[in-house]
Structure 1
Amino acid sequence: MSATLAQIAAARLAGKDAAARMEPALKALAAEPTIVSSVEAATARAQARTLDQLAARGQSAGPLHGVPLAHKDMYDRAGQVTGFGAKTGAGMKASETSTVLARLDAAGQIDMGRLRMSEFAMGPTGHNHHWGIPRNSARAGAISGGSSSGSGAAVGAGLVRAALGSDTGGSIRLPAACNGVVGFKPTQGRVPMTGVMPLSFSQDTVGPLAATVAEARLVLSIIAGPDGRDPICRYAPAMRPRGEALGKGLRIGFASGAVMAPASRAMTAAMGAVRERVSAVARTREVGLDLLTTLGEAANAIAMSEAAAVHADRLARAPESYGDQLRSRLAQAVAIPGFAYVRALQLRSRARAEMMRRVFDEVDLFVMPTLHDVPPLAAEHDVGGGQGVAAMIGKMVHFTRPISFLGFPALSLPVARTADGPLSVQIVGPDWSEDLIADLGEWLEAECSSGG
C-alpha cells in the first residue's frame, strides 16, 4: 500500500537532506511534459533546505513537512509566471503568493511545479489547443478530464500524492473520475480564491485531488478558512479528523429517475453495488433528483456571463491568443443578455431552497455518478470549435455542473476499476457537510479497496 501524506512527512522529518531527495522527484516530473507545464526546481530546493534546517532542530513545519506536491497552473506565487494553461506569453508574473499556496507552504509542502490545465480553466475534457492533453495512466488514450487535467493525471500517475485543482462545473471531480483518484470540491466559500485565476466568481471553488480520501481531507483542512481578503470566503467550522458519524441513523439517498438517464449499464451497476455496501452502515433510499436536470442552461448562463466579464477585453484585443473552442465559447458568452444572467441567479436561489426542502430534509447526503461511464477516449471528444461543443460539454458535466451551480460540497472517488477504466461516484451534501462526506468517503473507499 502506498504511503499516506502523513507517513511521508514523518519519514522525511526523521531523515536528513530532503533537498537531495528531491532530485529523483524533480526528474520524474520533468519527464512528463504532457502533465507538467513547468518544474520549479529552485523553489522546491529552497523549501527543502528550510525544512531540513527545521528537522535538524527537531522541529516540524506542519502536517505536510517535506511532502512534495504540485498544483494546477492558476495559482500565483510571487516572482513566478502563472500560465493559466494559455498560449505562451499570455500568462502573468505574480507579485504575491496565493493564500492557498501560502497555507500549504506553512504546513510544510515542497512545491515541485505547475501542472497542465485546460486553457483558462475552460473545458471538461482536458484538451488544450496549445499544449495537447495530459497522459491518462488509468486508461490509455482516454481524456484526462478538465479543467484540472494535469492535477488528475499527476496524482493518477503517482508523481505526487495530492495536487490542487479548481471546480466551477466539475473541474476537480471530472479529472478525478477520469484518472481514478479522489477529488474534493468544497462548499463554495470555504476556501479563499485570493491569488487564484478567476473564471466564474459565483461558482469558483478550490480543492484537492489526491490518492486517498484521507489525504484530500487533510489538504482541504489546511487551505480552508477565510483570509480577510476574499469577500465570498466566510467563516465555517474547522474541519476535523475522521469521525465516527456513520451508523444506522445516517440517511443516504441514491439518485434515481431522469437524472440517471445518461448513466451507462456499468455505471448503474456500480451505483447499485455502492448502495448495497452502504446499506450495512446507514439507511438508504432512492431520491428523486430530476430538478438537477433543469439547471444546465441557467448554470451555463451564469458561468459564461462571468467568464465573459473576465475575458472580454483580451478577447477584443487579441482573439488569436485563444484556441478555437475557447474563442468560440467566449464569443457566444459575450452575447448573453443581462436579463438571462439575472434570471439564472434567481433560479439558483429557488433551486437551492427546493433542494434543502425536498432532498436534504429527507437525507443527510446523496450519491450520484461523477461521470456517466468510464473516461472516454480523447479522439472521440476533440471537437475543437465545431458545432458539437455544447452537446459534448453538456454530457460531460451532466452530473457535476448542477452541484457547482448550487454551491454544495461533493467528493468524487473511484468505486470500481474495469478493463476499460475506473468508475467513480460523488457524495454530495448540504453546505459545510465536508466532514460527514469525507467520513462516508473514507469508509466506502476502504470497502471498495478490500472488496468487502
Structure 2
Amino acid sequence: MTTEPRSIAQLSVLLQSGALDPVALAQETLAAIRSHPDAAIFTFLLEERANAEAEAARRRLREGRSRGALDGVPVAWKDLFDIAGLPTTAGSRVLKDAAPAGRDAAVVQALAGAGMVSVGRVNMSEFAFSGLGINPHYGTPRNPASPAGEHRIPGGSSSGSGVAVAAGLVPVSIGTDTGGSVRIPAAFNGIVGYKATRGRYAMDGVFPLAKSLDSLGPLCRTVQDAILIDAAMRGLPAAGPIPRRNVADLSFVIPETVFFDGAEPEVVAAFEAGVTQLSRAGARIRREAFPEFSAIFDLMAKHGALVTAEAFVLHRARIKGAAAAEMDPRVVKRTLLGEKITVADYLETLEAREKLTAAFEARLGPKDLLLSPTLPHVAPAIQPLLDDEDLFFQTNGKTLRNTLVGNFLDWCGVSLPCGTGAGGMPVGLLVSAPRNGDDRLLAAAAAVEGALG
C-alpha cells in the first residue's frame, strides 16, 4: 500500500465510516503489489475477483448493509487454498496444469461471506514441506527486515503470507501450520501469527501436508486482527471487543527443555527482556522442565516423523515417477525418508502422541500458558543455504524445532514480535495453550501484546 502498513482494525474504521472506499482500497492494494520490487511474494493476482468483491462491499456499505468489521478488507491466500476456477499449485510446478478448483475452500467462502476482498495468492515452500520458505520454482520472497544488500529468508512454509503482511501489501494473509508454518514466518518477519487448534476451522479445499498435524491461521499485524479473522473463519458473527485480560491475572510457564538449546544469545536476551516486562506488569511466571518435549524427539529418532510418513503417502506417486524431476530436490529427499517408516512405526508414534499429550496437559495448571521464544535464531541469509545442502537441512530442522512441539501436542499458539536479535532481525515470543484453549489464548495474547508495547 502507498501509506504506512495498516491493521484490519484501522482499515475497518475508515471503511465503515466512509472515509475509505473499498474499490479504491482494492485498486491501491493491487497497484502496490504490482509495483513492489519483490515479484516472488505473490504467485497470482485475483484482479477481476477483487474488483467485483470490492464493488459489492462498496454497495453494501453505502446502503447501510455492512457485513461487519471485515467488509471490504483485503486478504491474501497461501497457494494451497482452493480458489474457484484456478488450479491449486501448492508452490509446485507439478500442479500448475492441474484441473481448476470447482469451488472455493471452505474458509475462503467464510471470509468472502464476511465481505473480505481476496486480492491474490502468495508464495510458499513447495508442498509446504520446509520451514525456511525457499522456493526454486517461483522464487523466494525477501524478508523485508533484511539489512540493506542482504536477502534473508522469509520463513516457511507460509513465506509469501509473512512477507506480504510485513511489507504492508495486505493487512492479513491466511496460512497453514503443520510444524510451525504460520508462527515461523510471523517471528522471522516481525508480525503476529496465530496457529489455531487443529480442527478449529473447516479443512475442505485445503491441500494437505499431514492431516494429523495440519492447522490453519492468519498472519496479521495485531492480535485484535487475528480475533476478527478467527471468528469469520468459523462462520461466526463479527467478533466483539476482546475480553480484556489483565496481565496480572495471567500465569505462564517457561519450558526449560528443548526450547533454548543452541539459541542465539541475542534471541534469548530479547525474549528475557519481554519476560521482564510481563513480570513487572504482574504476570506470574515460573520455569519448569518438560521431559515430554525431549521424548518427542526421541520418538522421531526411533520411528521417524509423522509429517514425513504422511507426506510420503501423499506424494508417493509423484516422487517415484517423472514428476520428481520437476520438484525441489530437497523436498524429494525429505519426503523419501517416509518410505522407511513402517506401519508399526507410525501407529506406535500415534499411540505415544496421545500419552505424551495427556502427560503434558496434566503437568500444566488449569490457568497456565506456555511462554517461549518462537524460534532459537533470527532469519539467516539465503545464499549459504542454497550453496550447502547439509546446512539447509540442519537449519530447517533447527527452525522447525520449537514450533513442531506444539503441532505434535496439538497446541494453539500466537507468535508476537519481541524486539530484535543479531543483525537487527525480528525475534518472536510465543504464547501457547493446550488444544482447544484458543479463546483463552487469544485474550491472553492481546494482554501480552499490550504489555510488550
The TM-score, its normalising length taken from structure 2, stands at 0.90
* Residue of structure 2 equivalent to 1:45: 51
Q: Secondary structure of the residue that 2:431 maps to in structure 1? A: strand
Shift of the 298–39 alpha-carbon distance from structure 1 to 2, 3 Å rule, reads: farther
Q: Secondary structure of the residue that 1:198 maps to in structure 2? A: coil
Shift of the 250–420 alpha-carbon distance from structure 1 to 2, 3 Å rule, reads: closer
* Residue of structure 2 equivalent to 1:75: 81
Q: Aligned partner of 2:266: which letter?
A: A
Report the CA distance between 1:294 and its aligned residue.
2.9
Matches within 5 A, 1:227-266: 241-246=241-246, 248-266=248-266
* Residue 392 of structure 1, aligned match among 386, 392, 395: 395
* Residue 69 of structure 2, aligned match among 63, 70, 77: 63
Per-residue CA deviations over 1:45-95 (Å, capped at 9, x if unaligned) read 110111122122121122211111111111111112222100163544101
Q: Aligned partner of 2:345: which letter?
A: A
Matches within 5 A, 1:345-356: 345-356=350-361
Q: Secondary structure of the residue that 1:381 maps to in structure 2? A: helix
* Residue of structure 2 equivalent to 1:154: 164
Identity, in percent, stands at 31
Report the CA distance between 1:388 and its aligned residue.
4.6
Distance 1:16 1:402 in 2: 43
* Residue of structure 2 equivalent to 1:98: 105
Contact 1:192 1:225 in 2 (8 A): no
Distance 2:5 2:166 in 1: 13
Deviates more, 1:438-447 or 1:164-173: 438-447
Shift of the 315–47 alpha-carbon distance from structure 1 to 2, 3 Å rule, reads: same
In structure 2, stretches of 5+ residues that fail to align are: none
For the pair 1:423 / 2:424, whether they are aligned, the reply is no
Distance 2:285 2:447 in 1: 15
Report the CA distance between 1:257 and its aligned residue.
4.3
Distance 1:333 1:9 in 2: 46
* Residue 84 of structure 1, aligned match among 67, 82, 90: 90
For the pair 1:176 / 2:186, whether they are aligned, the reply is yes
Matches within 5 A, 1:347-366: 347-358=352-363, 360-361=364-365, 364-366=368-370
Q: Calculate the aligned-residue CA RMSD, in Å.
A: 2.3
Contact 2:197 2:436 in 1 (8 A): yes
* Residue 206 of structure 1, aligned match among 207, 216, 220: 216
Distance 1:75 1:276 in 2: 40
For the pair 1:185 / 2:195, whether they are aligned, the reply is yes
Shift of the 284–134 alpha-carbon distance from structure 1 to 2, 3 Å rule, reads: same
For the pair 1:405 / 2:408, whether they are aligned, the reply is yes
In structure 1, stretches of 5+ residues that fail to align are: 227-237
* Residue of structure 2 equivalent to 1:126: 133
Per-residue CA deviations over 1:311-362 (Å, capped at 9, x if unaligned) read 112222322121110111122222321111111111111110110112x237
Q: Aligned partner of 1:109: which letter?
A: M
For the pair 1:271 / 2:275, whether they are aligned, the reply is no
Contact 2:175 2:181 in 1 (8 A): yes
Per-residue CA deviations over 1:10-38 (Å, capped at 9, x if unaligned) read 32241575324422211211234210111
Distance 2:409 2:204 in 1: 21
Per-residue CA deviations over 1:163-212 (Å, capped at 9, x if unaligned) read 10000000000000111111000111111111000110010001000011
Deviates more, 1:66-75 or 1:22-31: 22-31
For the pair 1:135 / 2:142, whether they are aligned, the reply is yes
Contact 2:369 2:433 in 1 (8 A): yes
Report the CA distance between 1:370 and its aligned residue.
0.9
Distance 2:392 2:203 in 1: 28
Distance 1:404 1:109 in 2: 29
Distance 1:247 1:55 in 2: 37
Distance 2:235 2:295 in 1: 32
Q: Secondary structure of the residue that 2:352 maps to in structure 1? A: helix
Report the CA distance between 1:99 and its aligned residue.
0.8
Deviates more, 1:413-422 or 1:208-217: 413-422
Deviates more, 1:254-263 or 1:326-335: 254-263
Shift of the 263–240 alpha-carbon distance from structure 1 to 2, 3 Å rule, reads: farther
Distance 1:83 1:155 in 2: 21
Distance 1:212 1:82 in 2: 29
